[in-house]
């Protein structure tokens, strides 16, 4: 499902160079739940965004579902993301000016899909947000925010869910709730790549890889 071959990512700031990924190789099968664990600054977010077609690698190729992601044009890659990939971030990244329902409907709006209102409402209900649909993100608890972000990620029925420290800002209780939803997505056949600096996050995974100083190890 996901195949990274010799992926290198170098950030350049003026003359300074940061090698965030150093010849990373990673293969993930369809339906697999892989957690990548590593310390802060090891390149986890970089890895995830590279897989998600958001960050052009300096070298190497990234394949998702058999498609060479960075061989696509920017436009085609955006469409690819809209149809195949769901993102969940540590900071939720909900748009502050939209209601929960508005945020959840946003991917459909971007992809110009026909109204997913009913589906969105029932999914929000399922995530325990049935009575929060008209609220702004700022009016939600952090756990609720992450659940809303997760509903948003699921609205496009992605084959691949990419999660960057999804429980990083949550208390253990809320973290468990979120992880249960990931487990559910996985149970239904979804592929997940989750990165975290906590070893514990590996609990739900089929497989745990580690990343250290830009190098991925199984």
Partner 1 sequence: MSALPLILQEIWHRKLDFLLGLLAVTITVALFVALLTMSGASDRETKRLMRDMGFNLLIVPKDTDMEDFWARDFAQEEMPEDYVHRLAGSGDIHADHYVAILQKKIEWRGRQILLTGWLPEVPSARRTREKSFMGLGVPPGRACVGYELARGLNIQRGDEIELHGKSLLVDAVLAEAGSKDDIRLYTHLHDAQEILNKPGKINMIRALGCLCGQGGRLWSIRPQIAEVLPDTRVTEFRSIAVARAETRRMVERQAVLILSTVAIACVIWVAVLSLLNVWERRQEIGILRALGAGSGKIAVLFLGRAVSVGLGGAVLGFIIGTGLALHFGPTIFKVTAAAIKPVYALMAQSLVAAPLVALLASLLPTVVAVTQDPAVTIMEE
Ligand X SMILES: Nc1ncnc2c1ncn2[C@@H]1O[C@H](COP(=O)(O)OP(=O)(O)OP(=O)(O)O)[C@@H](O)[C@H]1O
User: Rule CB under 8 A: which residues touch partner 1?
Assistant: 45-46, 49, 52, 54-56, 74-75, 78-83, 87, 89-91, 93, 95-98, 102, 106-107, 109-112, 152, 156
Nearest to 104 by CA among 154, 141, 177: 154
Binding of Mg ion at residue 61 (CB under 5 A)? no
Binding of ligand X at residue 46 (CB under 6 A)? yes
The token pair at 93 is 């990244």
Site for ligand X (CB under 6 A): which residue of 6, 18, 27, 198? 18
Specify the residue, 36 or 120, whose C-beta has the smaller distance to ligand X: 36
Binding mask 16-55 for Mg ion (x = CB under 5 A): -----------------------------x----------
Specify the residue, 27 or 110, whose C-beta has the smaller distance to partner 1: 110
Shortest approach of partner 1 to residue 107 CB, angstroms? 5
Specify the residue, 1 or 111, whose C-beta has the smaller distance to partner 1: 111
Radius of gyration of the chain from its Cα atoms, rounded to whole angstroms: 17
Binding of ligand X at residue 103 (CB under 6 A)? no
Shortest approach of partner 1 to residue 203 CB, angstroms? 25
Q: Are 92 and 137 in contact (CB under 8 A)?
A: yes
Q: Are 212 and 22 in contact (CB under 8 A)?
A: no
Q: Are 37 and 197 in contact (CB under 8 A)?
A: yes
Q: Are 34 and 23 in contact (CB under 8 A)?
A: no
Q: Are 2 and 193 in contact (CB under 8 A)?
A: yes
20 binds, among Mg ion, partner 1, ligand X, none (CB under 5 to 8 A by kind): ligand X
**Distance set, CA 150 to CA 4, 68, 91, 101, 177 (Å):** 25, 26, 12, 12, 11
Binding site for Mg ion (CB under 5 A): 45
């Amino acid at each position: 499902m996901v195949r990274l071959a010799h992926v290198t990512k170098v950030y350049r700031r003026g003359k300074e160079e940061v090698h965030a990924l150093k010849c990373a190789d990673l293969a993930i099968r369809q339906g697999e739940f892989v957690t990548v664990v590593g310390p802060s600054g090891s390149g986890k977010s970089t890895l995830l965004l590279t897989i998600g077609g958001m960050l052009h690698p300096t070298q190497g190729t990234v394949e998702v579902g058999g498609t060479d992601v960075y061989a696509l044009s920017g436009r085609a890659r955006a469409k690819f993301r809209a149809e195949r990939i769901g993102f969940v971030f540590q900071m939720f990244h909900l748009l502050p000016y939209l209601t929960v329902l508005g945020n959840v409907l946003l991917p459909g709006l971007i992809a110009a899909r026909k109204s997913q209102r009913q589906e969105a409402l029932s999914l929000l209900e399922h995530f325990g947000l049935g009575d929060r649909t008209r609220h702004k993100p700022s009016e939600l608890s952090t756990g609720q925010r992450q659940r809303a972000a997760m509903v948003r990620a699921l609205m496009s029925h992605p084959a691949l869910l990419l999660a960057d420290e999804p429980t990083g800002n949550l208390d253990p209780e809320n973290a468990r709730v979120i992880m249960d939803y990931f487990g559910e997505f996985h149970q239904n056949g979804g592929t997940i790549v989750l990165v975290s600096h906590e070893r514990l996050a590996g609990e739900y995974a089929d497989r745990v890889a580690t990343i250290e100083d830009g190098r991925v190890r199984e």
